[in-house]
Structure 1
Amino acid sequence: MVWNIVIPIITLIVGLVGGFFIGAYYLRKQLEKMQNDPETLQKMAKQMGYNLNGKQMQRAQQMMKNQQFSKNQPGARKNQGRRK
């Protein structure tokens, strides 16, 4: 009788945690793919309503290469505070 309540709650928690990690993994892979493929980056920018020229595209790619998406790369993002 108690198991009819406990099992669904445990299943829900396990599903949410698993879904979070699968989603984070998928997002990381998409960002890594995007930094290597300028066409994908241009497509994402157009979906967001931006048209990037060549110089802006190079800057966007450079910014993405400077950020670290994979766990294997040491260090974290620097200068996370606001710029003045």
Structure 2
Amino acid sequence: MVWYWVTGIVALLVGIVAGFYIAVQYMKRQMANMTMSDEDIQAMARSMGRNLNQKQLARISRQMKNVNAKALANQSKKKK
């Protein structure tokens, strides 16, 4: 009788850990493939109460492209 409880608890813990790991990997992959246009960035900034000028918008776009490029490079290294 005790083994049923132990097996159930162990299975639950393994499921939680595996589910968390899978979710993190999925989100990393989605974030790496995400691209945002200047209009999307501007809309997001406005929703947070900020108004970006062209220089700030260009800097944020450039940073996002650099992050995406690094993420893609890391993914290709992991596949090898």
TM bin (shorter chain): 0.5 to 0.7
Pairwise CA RMSD of aligned residues?
2.7
1:10-53 C-alpha deviation (Å, 9 max, x unpaired): 232222223322332224413531xx222443344344443323
- Secondary structure of the 1:72 match is helix
**Counterpart AA for 2:71:** F
The answer to whether 1:32 aligns with 2:23 is no
How do 1:39-50 and structure 2 match up within 5 A? 39-50=39-50
Query: Quick check: which has more Rg, 1 or 2?
Result: 2
Shift of 1:62: 1.2
Which consecutive segments of 4 or more residues in structure 1 shift more than 6 A? none
The answer to whether 1:53 aligns with 2:53 is yes
**Counterpart AA for 1:4:** Y
The answer to whether 1:72 aligns with 2:75 is yes
Tell me: CA distance 1:72–1:56, structure 2 relative to 1, closer, same or farther (3 Å). same
Paired position in structure 1 for 2:9? 9
- Paired positions, count: 72
Paired position in structure 1 for 2:23? 23
Gaps of 5+ in 1: 75-84
Gaps of 5+ in 2: none
Structure of greater relative contact order (alpha carbons < 8 Å, 6+ residues apart): 2
